[in-house]
Amino acid sequence: KNNKAFGSDFVLGFVGFTAASTNKACDIYAAVGENVPLPFNYEGLTKSYTLRWTHNSTIIFARAQNRVRHGKPEDINATGSLLLKSVNLQSSGTYLASLMHANNTPATNWTGQLCVMEKVPKPRLSYSCGTNVVKLNCEVSKPEGLVFSWTHDKKILPSETRQTVSISLSNIKEGSNFFCSVENKVSKESSETVRPTCTAPMLCFKSKTVLGVLAGGAGLILILLVVIIVLCLLYRRAKTSMRLSDRVEFK
């Protein structure tokens, strides 16, 4: 019997190594504290089968001929799925289910990568007033890897996916509100709604219009100066000519 058990473990270990080595991407995401069922659905599973689950090559459940050698009977359902209770970050890794017939020949196996993540915290939205813009900042601890989104007056801003955004005051009506959201693969949280109170500079015209008028005024002044200089030169030349003609007549 011992040699038989050893042979089963050897075959199962080989199958586990082969399947686990081919899967590295996350197949299942879960939040810390959740109960996670690992799907292994083998219809017709009976007590005569040998079932083993491993986590990163460590046996966490083993049952042979209706005898549980690792884990608890209630960890497995009727089709062989494994229930992980209250997972933590250390629960991440490669899980492998191996099933053997009563004659120690492989029946089937399943492997998957579980990624356990912390839930995102609730963000805090702050703002500051700039020149013709309002700057919004979605404050959250550990922002790396999080996805940011922004909502303005119940409409999502699809082009804004950064943690900080600048919105032109010309696009903000009185009473407009904003909130930001952060999410990862396992959770999503939104900030409280904020209504910015920034005001635009008190100008009758837009800045481009004012600059255009100033530029036009400067050009007009330059033209007037040129005209005055030309008239002065003409006047001095005419006055000089009159003096020369007076001298000729006096002689």
Total domains in the chain come to: 3
pLDDT value of residue 19:
40
Same domain, yes or no, for 133 and 224? no
**pLDDT tens digit string along 182-232?**
999 999 999 999 999 998 776 544 555 545 645 666 778 888 887 788 777
pLDDT value of residue 244:
52
Query: 3-state class of 175 per DSSP?
Result: coil
The reply to whether 251 falls in a domain is no
Evaluated on CA atoms 105, 107, 113, 114, the torsion sign reads negative
Q: What is the mean pLDDT of residues 164-169?
A: 95
- CATH number of the domain encompassing residue 47: 2.60.40.10
pLDDT value of residue 217:
66
Distance (Å) of CA 129 to CA 101, 166, 168, 176, 179: 71, 10, 10, 15, 16
Q: Which domain holds residue 77?
A: 2-117
Half-sphere exposure of 108 (CA within 13 A, CB side): 9
In this structure, are residues 217 and 206 in contact, taking their beta carbons and an 8 Å threshold?
Answer: no
Same domain, yes or no, for 180 and 210? no
Same domain, yes or no, for 13 and 83? yes
The reply to whether 246 falls in a domain is no
pLDDT value of residue 222:
82
The reply to whether 247 falls in a domain is no
**Average pLDDT of the chain?**
84
Same domain, yes or no, for 179 and 228? no
The reply to whether 245 falls in a domain is no
**Boundary (domain end) residue, out of 54, 82, 117:** 117
Enumerate helices (H) and strands (E) in the chain, giving the number of each. 2, 15
Q: Provide the 10 A C-beta neighbour count for residue 167.
A: 21
The reply to whether 159 falls in a domain is yes
Give the angle 127-128-129 at the CA atoms, nearest 5°.
130
The reply to whether 145 falls in a domain is yes
The reply to whether 249 falls in a domain is no
pLDDT value of residue 220:
80
Same domain, yes or no, for 24 and 106? yes
Same domain, yes or no, for 28 and 80? yes
Please choose, from the candidates 100, 90, 8, 102, the residue with its C-alpha nearest in 3D space to the C-alpha of residue 56: 90
**pLDDT tens digit string along 90-146?**
999 999 999 999 999 999 999 999 999 999 999 999 999 998 999 999 999 999 999
pLDDT value of residue 227:
77
The reply to whether 70 falls in a domain is yes
Same domain, yes or no, for 112 and 7? yes
**Boundary (domain end) residue, out of 73, 92, 117:** 117
Distance (Å) of CA 4 to CA 11, 48, 70, 101, 212: 11, 14, 18, 13, 93
Q: Is the pLDDT of residue 7 over 60?
A: no
Same domain, yes or no, for 8 and 100? yes
Same domain, yes or no, for 11 and 104? yes
Please choose, from the candidates 11, 187, 16, the residue with its C-alpha nearest in 3D space to the C-alpha of residue 112: 16
Same domain, yes or no, for 65 and 40? yes
Same domain, yes or no, for 6 and 111? yes
Same domain, yes or no, for 12 and 56? yes
